[in-house]
Amino acid sequence: MKRKVSHFISRKFRAVVLLAVSQLVVTSAAVAQADMQEAVQVRSIRFVTPLVEKWIAEYAKVRPDVQVQLAGKDMQADDVDIQLLAAVPAEAQFALTVGRYAILPIAGADNTALASIGNRKLNARQLKTLYFERDIFDEDDDETPSKPPLEVTVYSGANAGSFAHPFAAHFGRQSADLKGKKIAGDDLFLINAVQKDASGVSFNSLNYVFDVTSRQLRDGIVILPLDLKKGFEEIVRQPDLDKTIALLEAKAPELIPVEAFSAVVNTTTNSSALQFLHWVLTEGQKFNHELGFLQLDEKTSEQQQQQLATKSKKNFLLVNK
């Protein structure tokens, strides 16, 4: 009798344990699924990555329940919720402008051509002559220069995401028209090139031209003297990252390209990704300056928030059909 009772208790105990384990498995699966829904995968072009990392770190402080992270290199594009790109691809169905960057023309501090420039300041025509091959269809190129062109070696990026494309487009040219040498990899390498080459000139974004910690120009480079209106000369005379950003946000001169970068959103993304982007457009903008980027102007910011609100509403309706 005792043996039967013991056997019965043992069977009952095993059943309880099995039930508890099964409930634990179900609960764990539910939690894992919830965690998966809350995860936001972000991929970024190289030069914007430090800012994205800053956004992610700051967002974690206000929304620790949401896991926003940089997507691994092996992650498929369809699994990435947000892609930060300098140019929005034609096939993108939804994208938001989330920040701006500026491009400055630079040379090595020991560049021998600087002595030839002297106190002169370069205008748009002279910059085009300096950086680009002659264009027979450009009226400016028909003019005979009063002085022979400066002997320089132009360094530009070779990748699709290089600053060569927006820089050339700003002056009505194509990246293929740039003179000199093309360098593969991160455009940060262009800084090294002009530091080492006494004839080298290039161009780069603020966050690469300046040291974002000291807020001063990186060692061994200078900004080429530009023909700017009064009030903008401080950019050249006293290079300071914060003063430069303030001037460019007030009104960028025509000689300095100011471009936008965008967040391309996956059509199947979760609501957490859209909430993160709303934070980027509002609270996240205050971290742009720290990393060498410009904030969105008020009008653009409002437009992007309205677009995001419409997108969020559509997503909500689809989920709750």
pLDDT single digits (tens) 268-303: 888 999 999 999 999 999 999 999 999 999 999 999
In the structure, what pLDDT confidence band is assigned to residue 229 with cuts at 50, 70 and 90?
Answer: confident
In 3-state terms, what secondary structure has residue 116? Answer: helix
Q: DSSP secondary-structure letter at 287?
A: G
Closest C-alpha among 184, 118, 130 to residue 156 = 184
The answer to whether domain 39-99+263-319 and domain 102-259 are alike in fold is yes
CB 267 within 8 A of CB 273: no
Look at residues 206, 269, 285, 260 and name the one whose alpha carbon lies nearest to residue 42.
269
CA atoms within 13 A on the CB side of 112: 8
pLDDT at 20 over 60: no
The rounded distance, in Å, linking the Cα atoms of 176 and 156 is: 10
Q: Which residues of 42-59 are buried (b: 16+ CB within 10 A; e: fewer)?
A: bbbbebbebbbebbbebb
CA-based nearest residue to 37, from 271, 274, 309, 311? 271
What average pLDDT is seen over the chain?
Answer: 85
The two tokens of residue 254 are 């025509």
Largest pairwise CA distance in the chain: 116
1 pLDDT higher than 80: no
Six token digits for residue 130: 């300096």
- Going from N- to C-terminal start, the domains of the chain cover 39-99+263-319, 102-259
| In contact, 294 and 97? CB cutoff 8 Å | no
Report the pLDDT value the prediction gives residue 116, as an integer from 0 to 100. Answer: 82
Number of helices and strands in the chain (H, E): 11, 9
Q: Which CATH number fits domain 102-259: 3.40.190.10, 3.90.1640.30, 3.40.50.2300, 3.40.50.1820?
A: 3.40.190.10
Closest-CA residue to 84 (of 103, 60, 100): 100
What are the structure tokens assigned to 88, written together? 């929005």
Q: Model confidence at 16, in pLDDT bands (50, 70, 90)?
A: very low
Span 161-165, average pLDDT: 95
CATH class (in words) of the domain with range 39-99+263-319: alpha beta
When pLDDT is averaged across residues 101-121 and rounded to a whole number, the result is 89
Beta strands in the chain (DSSP E): 40-44, 68-70, 82-85, 95-108, 153-157, 181-183, 200-205, 221-223, 258-265
pLDDT at 262 over 70: yes
Q: How confident is the model at residue 6 (pLDDT cuts 50, 70, 90)?
A: very low
Q: Which residue has the tokens 């009772």?
A: 5
